[in-house]
Amino acid sequence: MSYLDKVNSPKDIKKLNIDELDELCQEIRSLMIKTVSENGGHLASNLGVVELTVALHKVFNSPTDQIVFDVGHQCYTHKILTGRRKEFSTLRTENGISGFTRPVESPHDIFSSGHSSTSVSAAIGLAKAKALKGDKGKVIAVIGDGALTGGLAYEALNNSSIDTDNLIIILNDNDMSISKNVGSVAKELTHIRTSPKYYRFKSKVSRGLAKIPKFGAQITRFITVTNQRIRKKLYHSTFFEDLGLRYYGPIDGHDMQSLIDALTVAKAHSHSVLIHVSTVKGKGYDFAEKNPSKFHGIGKFNIDTGEPLSKGKTFSDAFGENLLSFAEKDSRICAITAAMATGTGLVNFANKYPKRFFDVGIAEQHAVTFSSGLAKNGMIPFFAVYSTFLQRSYDQLVHDVAMQGLKVIFCIDRAGFVGEDGESHQGVFDTAYLMSVPDLTVFAPATFDELSSMMYQAAYKEEKAVAIRYPRGGQAVLPENYKYEKHAFDVIGDSSNDICLVTYGRETEPCCKALKECDNAFVLKLNKIKPLSSEIADVLKNTKKIFFLEEGIKSGGVGECFAELLLENGVNAEYRHICINDEFVKQASVDSQLKKYCLDAQSVIDIVNEKI
């Protein structure tokens, strides 16, 4: 029997010794690599925190002690250890377990996650609530060094020492060093300070000193100040201690005994504590260790070669190629990303034009305002960002770009359904909030050629801010006789027919496919979804039924704005809006999601024929 077979809850881990825990970690890695190779997922980040997660569950008592994973893309070991090992093969599949923490799955998952830099804020709130209610247990926030590039993390750290004695922050440093130390003395000091024996001795001495009349408190204060001064000499940065946190580290994140010792000391503390843990991203799988960016979020792949199983040009690839071409001819072209150079197709741009490429870290708010500064002084900034992450910088889009009348070009990747990443990553909200922003033009390409043309229009034909939204994956297949002529909208089919299917972007393909089975119908394809052209009303003035189909949320979406346009222009037609109605889209394949929300070709046919 493997050790994995013996672990059905965190309680089972407490029965294992160090050697057994190390063996358990290797079994977890093997299971993880096999499952992600078949289902896709976040591999490198999860491989790096196996020992850390096992040690957390060895020392603490989840869910009484609450563990909050930042982003949640490193929670696979946690899921395996908290009763979901048998369901792990369903990771990221429809009706399976999520690739992120989800409280609906388990009481051990404290917060739904998916976006970065939130854990410390949530943990402080959880810890304060425990204190106010008199509940037992610690609250542990596990945050990576990448997430510390997000401003929310620093807002929380600034608030982390407010009368909170049950908070522990684990800084998982797998890339950059946060607090560099000096030589072997500092290293040995860290080892001593995280020894449970030393901590018990220190506590005993403190209690003894406190009993000394008159001078006990003075001696204790003198020792404390002296310790602080010594640490400042040995550690170049005392940033965390200056914030009121007790700092321990760096700790080897793959040394089980060191981790257990450090966590045991932190658990015994009556102060807020930060433990700095150094880990290797992709640990235990050679391909992931050598190329952690590639294996950060990866689809199905061959375990023996590390190569993805699915290939083909994507909108991200096309965007990167186009921007590179523009930059060759125009030195004003700049590329901005929020730690997503690979995902958004900007790697080649970064290599060729490093001075005009800016990766600002996981800081979408800063990325937008930074871009506005570039634009103000004459550059042409293209900010490439996933739809789900752009929503984090809505205020900057409104206040620092649109209100200033500046031309920043937002290239919004993963717009619409994204599939298996689930609720936190679906790109279905951007249309609703973009439609509300004054002086913003929004394009929706369906093909790579359209994307290229719209990028050119944005850079050289538009005067103010522009957003170009495109889906994950490849381009739509449209009728052979269709050609994009840079109009705000196009008609596909005979506009004298009674039924019109209105749509944009990827959804154009299933609507065009449906035309083959639908008599008396045509497609109105929106290329520019904001502003909507008033000429549309002239095309639809004699139409009897209009179906608006979009991969977006209903409230405030393009379909609602389109209905208003029809009403204002006296178009008297039966109108139906097929979209996402006031709910979060759960994980499934994109094809399954399209079918569920009646946006696949067969559903469109059934809608037109009034079967749905």
Question: What are the tens digits of pLDDT across the range 527-544?
Answer: 999 999 999 999 999 999
Q: In terms of Cα–Cα distance, which of 7, 176, 180, 186 is closest to 88?
A: 7
Angle made by CA atoms 49, 51, 55, in degrees to the nearest 5 = 115
Residue/partner pairs of 397-404 with CB below 8 Å, 24 or more apart: 397/368, 397/437, 397/440, 397/465, 398/437, 400/368, 400/369, 400/372, 401/368, 401/371, 401/372, 401/375, 401/465, 402/437, 402/438, 402/439, 402/440, 402/464, 402/465, 404/372, 404/376
Q: Report the share of the chain in percent with pLDDT over 70.
A: 89
| 392 noted as active-site residue | yes
Residue 184, pLDDT above cutoff 50: no
Which residue is catalytic, options 281, 283, 407, 472? 281
Peptide bond before residue 250 is cis, with ω within 30 degrees of 0:
yes
Give the N- to C-terminal CA distance of the chain in Å, as an integer. Answer: 52
Q: Mean pLDDT over all residues of the chain?
A: 91
pLDDT band for position 612 (cuts 50, 70, 90): confident
Average pLDDT over residues 37-48: 96
Query: Any catalytic annotation for residue 364?
Result: yes
Q: Mean pLDDT, to the nearest integer, of 100-115?
A: 96
**pLDDT per residue over 311-332, tens digit each?**
799 999 999 999 999 999 999 9
Among the options 58, 92, 392, 414, which is catalytic? 392
- Of 187-191, 298-302, 548-552, 605-609, which range is least confident? 187-191
Lowest mean pLDDT among 203-207, 421-425, 440-444: 203-207
- pLDDT at position 230: 58
191 pLDDT higher than 70: no
Q: Check residue 195 and give its pLDDT.
A: 58
Residue 28 has pLDDT above 50, yes or no: yes
Binning pLDDT at 50, 70 and 90, where does residue 247 land? confident
Please, are residues 13 and 59 in contact by the beta-carbon 8 Å criterion? no
Q: Which domains does the chain have, with CATH numbers?
A: 3-180+237-286 (3.40.50.970), 315-469 (3.40.50.970), 490-608 (3.40.50.920)
**pLDDT tens-digit map of 499-525:** 999 999 999 999 999 999 998 999 999
Distances (CA, A) of 465 to 230, 400, 403, 462: 53, 11, 10, 8
Which candidate in 92, 105, 130, 364 is catalytic? Answer: 364
246 confidence band (pLDDT: 50, 70, 90): confident
pLDDT for the residue 242? 79
Task: Please give the Cα distance from 476 to 473 (Å, whole number).
Answer: 10
Q: Based on C-alpha coordinates, what's the Rg of the chain?
A: 27
380 forms beta bridges with: 333
Confidence of residue 392 (pLDDT cuts 50, 70, 90): very high
* pLDDT at residue 240, as a whole number: 81
Single-letter amino acid code for the residue at 46: N
Confirm whether pTM is higher than 0.85: yes
pLDDT digits (tens, 9 = 90+) for 252-280: 999 999 999 999 999 998 889 999 999 99
Which are the contacts of 515, defined by CB distance < 8 A and separation ≥ 6? 492, 493, 501, 521, 522, 523
- Model confidence at 162: pLDDT above 90: no
Closest CA to 414 of 385, 452, 383, 455: 385
The reply to whether 281 belongs to the active site is yes
